[in-house]
Amino acid sequence: MKLRQFAAAFLINEDQEILFLQKPEDAKFLAGHLVPIGGHMEASEINTPEEACLREINEETGLSSHQISKLTLQYLTHRLKDNEIRIQYIYFGYISKDSNLTNSDEGSLVWINPNNINDLKVTASAREIIKHHKLNVLNENIYVGTMKSLNGEPGMTWSILEDWDKK
């Protein structure tokens, strides 16, 4: 069984919109989908997912770390796909809607209203993360989500990541 790790960011502006990347219809992976900013972690980044996330943000948007505020790890998600375990490190951060964004060859950058997430072509994990985040935005917990089937539809089981023996 293979292990694949990803780092991604949900970047939010002052209107509470989230920056997504619109993949081209002819893309090899997730064609036509709206996806969070992010991608695969390089071997040298396995122990530093925030560095991977910042690299992906820069590659896909042109933004540098000083243009992002409060970039915080908020989710770890797990999914079994074929013969592969996929782990995503999900960060949330804030940027100005007026930020000078640069499209990449990965796709076009678009702002989405999270209230419309059910009407958009996004991955099941992105949909579940946004729905969960809307309910838990005011706390500082890190959540672990495991993708599963709920009556034939994708769903996520959530737990709080905590140091259980900390007093």
Tens of pLDDT, residues 6-19: 999 999 999 999 99
Residue 20, φ and ψ in degrees, nearest 5: -125, 160
Please give the distance of CA 47 from its chain centroid, rounded to a whole number: 18
Residue 60, both tokens:
């896909």
Q: Looking at the domain assignment, is residue 167 inside a domain?
A: no
- Output the pTM of the full model: 0.93
Mean pLDDT for 84-90 is: 97
Mean pLDDT for 51-74 is: 97
Q: Looking at the domain assignment, is residue 52 inside a domain?
A: yes
Residue 31's pLDDT is: 67
* Residue-wise pLDDT tens digits, 25-36: 877 887 678 999
Q: Looking at the domain assignment, is residue 166 inside a domain?
A: no
Residue 167's pLDDT is: 60
Structurally, how many domains does the chain consist of?
1
Q: Looking at the domain assignment, is residue 42 inside a domain?
A: yes
- 53 or 104: which carries more pLDDT confidence? 53
Q: Kindly report the CATH number assigned to the domain that includes residue 72.
A: 3.90.79.10
